[in-house]
Amino acid sequence: GLRWRDAPNDYGPHKTLYNRFIRWSKMGVFNEIFSRLTAEGDPPDTLMIDATHLKAPAGFQSAKKGDVPRRIGRTKGGLNSKLHAIVDGQGRPVMMCLTDGQTSDHIGAKILYPALPENAKVLIGDKGYDSDDYRAALKAKGITPCIPPRRGRKSPATYCKTLYKQRHKVENMFGRLKDWRRVATRYDRCAHTFFSAILIAAIVIYWL
């Protein structure tokens, strides 16, 4: 959350630092670092999924047609983006994606689904992920869903309440990410720079 000009002088001119950050962000350097670090650990057998809103200043607007994607949407809480994440059994983020604020949890889950670890055995999620299609898709990968059924379901699925208590780990992860001021409130207009800041925070907190 600090200004670029507050960086130590040993790092060089702050304008050079900013330009390098933007260039590396567009090239996907931070995505690659995050992916390689998460791949070094043992394949997780337990996963947890959730999403959280990240507020954007009132002056931000959604990108016009043809502009660089901003992933900013309008909800009841105002302008914001939505971070979808999957964490392992230790509460460390292994997969993340950024969408518009009004994007449903199911769409975020579909985006992350193709890259789910092959060795995963259980996925824990809240009622927002309760659907027959998503449950069937998880079972097709050999993953047992631990998702409580929504109220009013004609044939509610069963789940392990003891295992479900671990879901707080993904909430804790979001809380630690939001300790970083630049993540808690979005100041980057371009989605790729904001997502790079999120990845850097996750790398420093959990993978270094």
* pLDDT tens digits, one per residue of 83-141: 999 999 999 999 999 999 899 999 999 999 999 988 899 999 999 999 999 999 999 99
Q: Pairing state of beta strands 144-146 and 78-87?
A: unpaired
Q: Which residues contact 29 (CB under 8 A, 6 or more apart)?
A: none
What is the predicted pLDDT for the residue at 61?
61
Strand partners, 49: 86
What is the predicted pLDDT for the residue at 74?
82
| pLDDT band with cut points at 50, 70 and 90 for residue 67 | low
* 28 pLDDT above the threshold of 80: yes
Q: Which residues contact 71 (CB under 8 A, 6 or more apart)?
A: 81, 98, 99, 100, 191, 194, 195
| Model-wide pTM > 0.85 | yes
| pLDDT band with cut points at 50, 70 and 90 for residue 64 | low
What is the predicted pLDDT for the residue at 60?
65
| pLDDT band with cut points at 50, 70 and 90 for residue 68 | low
* Six token digits for residue 57: 């200043």
What whole-number percentage of the chain has pLDDT above 90? 68
* 45 pLDDT above the threshold of 60: yes
